[in-house]
A and B are shown apart, each in its own frame.
Chain A
Amino acid sequence: MNRVVVTGLGCVTPIGNTVDAFRESLYAGRTGIAPFDLSTMPGALSPDPSIRFKTTAKVKGFEPTQNPEQHLSSGFILTSELGAQFGIIAARQAVAHSGLLQHYDATGIAIVTGCSCGGRAADEDANRNLYLRNARIPPTVIIRTMASSGTSNIAIETGITGPVLNIATACASGTHAIGLAFQMVRSGMAPAAITGGYEAALTYGFLRAWDSMRVVSPTSCRPFSVDRDGMTLGEGAAMMILEPLEAALARGARIYAEIVGFGMSADAHHITQPRAEGAALAMRRALEDTAHAGIVEPASRIGYINAHGTGTPTNDAVEAAAIHQTFGDLASNLPVGATKSLTGHSIGAAGAIEALATVIALDQASLPHTAGVTEIDPTFHLDVLIGEPRPLAADKDLALSNSLAFGGLNAVLAFRRYAI
């Protein structure tokens, strides 16, 4: 089996539209969460229904018709949604960054993405006009609403014909995607992979629907804080290039981290209520996978957990319990952080954005802190990273990135710091 390394990165996020900008915001603790005005959104109905939350984490400065680095053809813009556009730009950055296409035959490369919501804006717009005034539906609606639209367009742009697919497992989509791409490259099924996630679902109807779920923070997402009051919705994309270690070394590629394990599980319990046993099982399986790769006692080498950390009262409590179930006596000294405090929760893209943060943390040997925490919930007995970034402990070289989706679908990636 191949050892698999990350050799290219790309992103479009609420805290930066390049990896350099993302990294800078991550360590500065600069949040992308900001107030939004529901009444000015496309499709907004009057009077303003006054929903419970006032903030989202939107991507700023994404201008595919203005900015040459984000250029997309007018034809592509016409037939795609914002999420797919984020995905293709993030993939383009990662591909350019890695030099992938100069070194690999594009025919066999895999593209595995996570996108759960698809093109909701086109769907809502068409349905609003359909039901309000029996309007005809534009022919682009079908292709704009496909969750795999961005995936297909990455293939079209790169000429990649290998296994190409999109995963939709709600909030775990991006993590499942990276995990499957990792397995493909590890097994030799694909010589390399572009993988990650994209999502842009902050539409009027989507925000109203989340409001009804009563899980969105009326203030701002602050995971693991004793006064946390919910999640903040976000959007964005992150992509990475995976290839075998040997091939990366042979071509002199810059290596950001190694992926060493992947664990999946289902709670098999409830469509919204998470269960700690399910999350713990996914973490344990990721550690077992890591051990199978010959890494001895992986649990004792974990120096960072990038938690799912949504900031809802339930998620964070269940995730804390799962960390204790998995790590036992080690749990209370494990540094835990949550990227969603800066980026919000971008559903299908979240796992990919957090995997990117985890790769950066290992590459820089510096653990990003969690923003907005007023006081760590004392009942969790966790070492939550707050205040400022903290160096990765010298005797630790592994990190986990957790995604625990609605519906109890869990995915956990294990990364290792790559030391030359």
Chain B
Amino acid sequence: MDDIQSRIIELVAKSKNLPVSDVRMDSTFEELQIDSLDKINLSFEVEEIFSIEIPDDALNSLKTVGDVVRGVETLRAAAPPNATKS
């Protein structure tokens, strides 16, 4: 598992108080009971950790954990590399 994927899975698991093993790339927000407020919080943390900015339309299209991982990869590839925060 690459770094972005593992960090996002850890983040989702922590935010919903779930074991990491319960969060998969194809887990949907619906099945993880991630509501709109959780999604906003998650996005905020992801933006902070990876030094990116998730556009509103991209945020609205996120439905799975994998969507978040792929979105972060795309945004980081498009932006000059920054050191991620620990």
Give A contacts to B, CB under 8 Å: 73-75, 78-79, 136, 138-140, 143
Interface flag for B15 (CB, 8 Å): yes
* Chain B: number of interface residues, binned into ranges: 10 to 19
Q: Add 14 more A-B contacts to A74-B16, A75-B38, A139-B37 (CB < 8 A).
A: A74-B15, A74-B17, A75-B16, A78-B15, A78-B41, A136-B44, A136-B47, A138-B44, A139-B40, A139-B41, A139-B44, A140-B37, A140-B41, A143-B37
Q: Is B48 an interface residue (CB 8 A)?
A: yes
Smallest CB–CB gap between B46 and chain A, Å? 12
5 contacts between A and B (CB under 8 A): A74-B16, A79-B37, A136-B47, A139-B40, A139-B41
Residues 23-61 of chain B: 1 if any A CB is under 8 Å from the residue's CB, otherwise 0? Answer: 000000000000001101100100110000000000000
Contact call B41/A138, Cβ cutoff below 8 A? yes
The reply to whether B48 and A136 form a contact with Cβ atoms under 8 Å apart is yes
CA distance A140 to B15 in the complex (A): 13
Question: In the docked arrangement, what's the CA distance between A136 and B48, Å?
Answer: 8
B54-73 interface (Cβ within 8 A of A): none
Contacting residues, chain A, for B48 (C-beta < 8 A): 136
Contacts of B41 in A (CB 8 A): 78, 138-140
Would you give the shortest CB distance from A403 to chain B, in whole angstroms? 35
Tell me which residues across on chain A come within 8 A of B40, comparing CB atoms.
139
In Å, the complex CA distance between A136 and B53 comes to 11
Residues of A within 8 A of B44 (CB): 136, 138-139
In the bound assembly, the distance between CA atoms of A79 and B44 in angstroms comes to 14
Chain B residue at minimum C-beta to C-beta distance from A143: B37
In the bound complex, what is the Cα–Cα distance between A136 and B16 (angstroms)?
23
CA A143 to CA B36, docked complex, whole Å: 14
User: Contact flags (1/0) for B1-37 with A, using CB distance below 8 Å?
Assistant: 0000000000000011100000000000000000001
CB distance from A267 to the nearest CB of B (A): 42
CA distance A78 to B39 in the complex (A): 13
CA A139 to CA B44, docked complex, whole Å: 7
A105 to chain B, nearest CB (A): 28
Enumerate the 10 nearest inter-chain pairs by beta-carbon distance, A residue then B residue, closest first: A74-B17, A139-B40, A139-B44, A138-B44, A139-B41, A140-B41, A79-B37, A78-B41, A75-B38, A74-B16
Contacting residues, chain B, for A79 (C-beta < 8 A)? 37
- Chain B residues with Cβ under 8 A from A140's Cβ? 37, 41
Rounded to whole angstroms, the CA-CA distance of A143 and B41 in the bound complex is 12
Question: Given the complex, which residues of B lie within 8 Å of A143, measured CB to CB?
Answer: 37
Instruction: Give the CA-CA distance A136 to B43 in the complex, in Å.
Output: 12
Residue of A nearest to B45 (CB): A138
A235 to B46, CA, bound (A): 34
CB-CB under 8 A from B37, the residues of chain A are 79, 139-140, 143
Residue of A nearest to B17 (CB): A74
- Chain A residues positioned under 8 Å from B15 (CB to CB): 74, 78
The CA of A287 and the CA of B48, in the complex, are separated in Å by 58
Which residue on A lies nearest to B34, using beta carbons? A75
How distant is A145 from chain B, measured CB to nearest CB, in Å? 15
Residues of chain B with a CB closer than 8 A to A78's CB: 15, 41
In the bound complex, CA of A74 to CA of B38 (Å): 11
Smallest Cβ-Cβ distance to B47: which chain A residue: A136
Nearest residue (CB) in A for B40 is: A139
Distance from B53 Cβ to chain A, minimum over Cβ atoms (Å): 10
The CA of A138 and the CA of B42, in the complex, are separated in Å by: 10
Q: Which of A73, A79, A136, A139 has the most CB of B within 10 A?
A: A139
- State the CA gap A287–B37 with chains docked (Å): 48
> Chain B's nearest CB lies how many Å from the CB of A159?
18
A143 shortest CB reach to chain B, Å: 8
Closest to B16 in A: A74
